[in-house]
Amino acid sequence: MGTYGMGSDDDRAVNALRHGLDRGMLLIDTAEMYGSGHSEEVVSRAVEGRRDSVFVASKVSPSHFAYDDVLRSAQKSLKRLRLKQMDLYQLHWPNPSIPISETMRAMEKLANDGLTRYVGVSNFSIAQMQEAQKALSKNRIVSNQVEYSLLERSIEKDLLLYCQKEGVTVIAYSPLGQGKMPKGRGAAFDILDKVAEKLGKSRNQVALNWLLHQESVVVIPKAVRKEHLAENAESCGWRLDNSDYELVGNAFPRVF
């Protein structure tokens, strides 16, 4: 579950996240940038009493990529999350003004000290991932969080294949096209709806399952309404057959 934009109604957001956890969506992604850290506080309430079953991921802002700033940001995030350890700590966006070797040295210290289980990046190109990985002495970059949906497939040009070859998980944000998927019209959406009708699924469920068809991809849709959370949760546990996967994929052409 993604949490960008959550926090204007704390109780509603907490209840939504808990409902999602009850439905089996056990990865929650947040960031110090979201609501100036308030999103992390919302997540802390949602995971209270069930920490062992939840995978908590957060992100450090590019403006905090200097060595000491990374360490301070992580400590502040842990305090807001009320955790001793994050499962995944990610660089939110590249920052060419600070040497990536300095930033990754701090990330490696956090991993070595047990403050994060895994190190990840977000919105990084292949070259940026390679440079970041080269700066690590023993830890591996396990994930790259990027925008990916039927409506935004630019990572298929080269980044997706690279991540698959390197064993890096792609965490797809905005997997429903920044909210455009439910409202879309046209020939491609007609095909999507026909496949959904045949399978007894919703348009959104097919769109999410299309992404999940690839083992290296996970999705983090955001929702606060219980019916939307239930819909998202039911996008997994089944699999598009190859013909439907290709039919849907061909309906939404890649634009590089």
The HSE-up count of residue 242 (CA atoms within 13 Å, CB side) is: 0
Burial grade of 128 (CB within 10 A; 0-12, 13-18, 19 or more): middle
pLDDT bucket at 152, cuts 50 / 70 / 90: very high
Q: In whole angstroms, what is the distance from residue 212 CA to residue 219 CA?
A: 7
Domain range annotation of the chain: 10-251
The pTM score is 0.96
Write down the CATH number for the domain with range 10-251: 3.20.20.100
What confidence tens digit (pLDDT) does each residue in 30-69 have? 999 999 999 999 999 999 999 999 999 999 999 999 999 9
pLDDT at residue 256 is higher than 80: no
pLDDT the model gives residue 227:
93
Strand locations in the chain, DSSP E? 27-29, 55-60, 86-91, 116-122, 141-147, 169-173, 217-219
How many residues in total does the chain contain? Answer: 256
Residue with tokens 């996967």: 245
User: How crowded is residue 171: how many other Cβ atoms within 10 Å of its Cβ?
Assistant: 24
Integer angstrom CA distances of residue 1 from 30, 86, 108, 162:
9, 16, 26, 25
pLDDT at residue 166 is higher than 90: yes
